[in-house]
Structure 1
């Protein structure tokens, strides 16, 4: 009892003992936090290089700091197939496939050789990879598909090959959309290929709105024309912002005229209760055109054309050419 009391007395007389243990715990916690901070920083740095397209630097960082006894083999390494597909080296690619290389090998960010071939517009490599069993619907960690890459570079040949071999023309709402990318980059032929394959011309995503809205924001008139001819809703944009708002805000008078020909509502209001004329740059050509348009009665022929198209419905637009009408009238209904 005396000894126990003695220890208590000793602890009481040594107030630095508990403080010493507290400092040890704080030091351990600080070291752990610092180590965690370093790992997070390196991960962010690797991801930054991946986004910038410098995967080799990302691989170097990963190999140097995250090599857990695997002989300097980085988990972000690109395979020889990736390099051959990226450079369009068809003979090298075929030899690698014959040697048994996996055509579905992925990098750190889940980029496949097929992604690389499509991004480089190497249609022969795309065919070779698909013939060897490449997954046409593989997605990166960001949800990017090979079809998206093909549309991003305007490669209608690669897009058609992918679609012919089972590529989905449209992904999920929160995935990068091929048809939006085609509109953003002004690839009208890719838009046509996607529409023929069944892509929804009114596919609405939270961050980009409809393809038509994207085409208007990007001032890509030909893409907007193709979408409208395919039956895209001229009023549907992004939330309450119509495609006409987007075109007016960009001072794109030609696209404004196109949208109005297809029946865009000049009095539509956005979330700020502004009409298209209100968002047009002051004293601009577009503002003047909209003011004149508002004061001018619409043509009866234009109104009749829109009524006919509405009655037919988007799913039956392809039947217009079979109607027993003069060619000139059929072309007028089709905006040809």
Structure 2
């Protein structure tokens, strides 16, 4: 009996030692993987995870793309539905925390995105870089995907240190996405330190229609990036059409930036924009334009949608709304 007890005790100690060793190895590999992620070497982190963890066969691998990622990115709806029915996790993550919904939105695969959302996909999932499915939809100009996400609870606005959907949509001229985001409550004056406001981004990227939409929705025509106004950005890019638009909405031609320069000072020498600004300085402003800007200022950005309810002729209402 004593020999049997000693043998049983030895087996228990061996099992405990093996368990502790495996736990130590897993903790060490987790720390090593995290170290490589922090250093930016994600490929090496993925290799370590794939080599030492047997998740690829038993679970959905967080280190590599899953079959659901591939099906969603390729828009294979039948495959997506089949995998969901088979029990695949719709919120499975890659090493960068990319979900199948991220992939579906990036590929503008609306049907796949809808199937994933109906199966419980997190519409506000964020990658390690802070990218949301909504950001991906706005990046490729997928208005339908953007609206689908917003209708199912996606946050229309991110924190200032995360990639901004409205800035992304504006920079690429995706007018429909900008319109959807504004409709769902995105702040048109959202200020990101290194990007400025969406209007400033539109001026830098010379996206006239996006700038027009933002201004009609009440964007502050003077608010840009730090002391650089949207008019500075448009003048520097020699985009006369955007410059005219900004001035029509009341941009201050005499505002100065950090270098104490006015918009006309940053315009390329002898350019069309410089000539237009010099002429504008010497031309009196129309009383009708000044009245329109005064009325819109008094109404306020949050009540601009009520202009249509004022007891005014339709022509005057359209004028006040810049239509």
TM-score normalised by L of structure 2: 0.85
Residues 62 and 75, structure 1, Cα contact 8 Å, conserved in 2: no
> Which residue number corresponds to residue 314 of structure 2?
327
Task: Give distance in 2, aligned partners of 1:135 and 1:72.
Answer: 22
Cα 1:152–1:284 change in 2 (3 A) is: same
> Quick check: 1:277 aligned with 2:264?
yes
Unaligned runs of 5+ in 1: 1-36, 48-57
Matches within 5 A, 1:1-336: 46-47=41-42, 58=43, 61-62=44-45, 64-65=47-48, 69-71=52-54, 73=56, 75-336=62-323
Change (3 A) 1:63 1:300: closer
Q: Against the structure 1 CA distance between its residues 256 and 112, is the aligned structure 2 distance closer, same or farther, given a 3 Å change threshold?
A: same
Distance 1:169 1:45, change over 3 A: closer
Q: For the residues of structure 2 that align with 1:240 and 1:64, how far apart are their CA atoms?
A: 47
Q: Deviation digits for residues 69-110 of structure 1, max 9, x if unmatched? A: 324847521011100110000010000001110000010000
Contact 2:231–2:243 under 8 Å retained in 1: yes
Structure 1's 41 and 166: CA in aligned 2 closer, same or farther, altered over 3 A?
A: closer
Q: Structure 2 vs 1, CA of residues 191 and 206 (structure 1 numbering), >3 Å: closer, same or farther?
A: same
Quote the offset at 1:46 in angstroms: 3.7
C-alpha contact 1:247 1:253 (8 A) present in aligned 2: yes
SS across alignment from 1:76: coil
Aligned counterparts of 1:127 and 1:70: Cα–Cα separation in 2: 32
Q: Considering only CA atoms, is the larger Rg found in Structure 1 or Structure 2?
A: 1
Unaligned runs of 5+ in 2: 1-31
**Residue 27 (structure 1) aligns with:** none
1:68 CA drift (Å): 5.8
Q: How many residues align?
A: 289
CA distance, structure 2, for counterparts of residue 123 and residue 185 of structure 1 = 20
Q: Give the Cα–Cα distance (whole angstroms) in 2 for the partners of residues 120 and 189 of structure 1.
A: 17
Per the alignment, residue 27 of structure 2 pairs with none
Taking the aligned partners of 1:227 and 1:208, their CA distance within structure 2 comes to 16
Distance 1:189 1:69, change over 3 A: closer
Displacement of 1:325 after TM fit?
1.0
1:326 Cα shift? 1.0
Report the Cα distance in structure 2 between the residues aligned to 1:63 and 1:293, rounded to whole angstroms: 59
Preserved contact between residue 77 and residue 108 of structure 1 (Cα < 8 Å): yes
Distance between the aligned counterparts of 2:134 and 2:252, measured in 1? Answer: 34
**How far apart are the structure 2 equivalents of 1:251 and 1:63?**
46
Check the 8 A contact 2:62/2:93 in 1, yes or no.
no
Equivalents in 1 of 2:155, 2:78: separation in Å?
28
Q: Deviations over 1:246-290 (max 9, x none)?
A: 000000000000000000000000000000000000000000000
Given that 2:49 and 2:63 are in contact with CA atoms closer than 8 Å, whether structure 1 keeps it comes out as no
Q: Is the CA contact 1:63–1:72 (under 8 Å) kept in the aligned structure 2?
A: no
For residues 138-187 of structure 1, give each alpha carbon's deviation from its aligned partner in whole angstroms, at most 9, with x where no partner exists: 10001100000000000000000000000000010100000000100101
CA 1:205/1:327 → structure 2, altered by over 3 Å: closer, same or farther? same
RMSD, matched Cα: 2.0
- Provide Cα deviations, 1:30-52, integer angstroms capped at 9, x if missing partner: xxxxxxx9x978975644xxxxx
CA apart distance, 1:322: 1.5
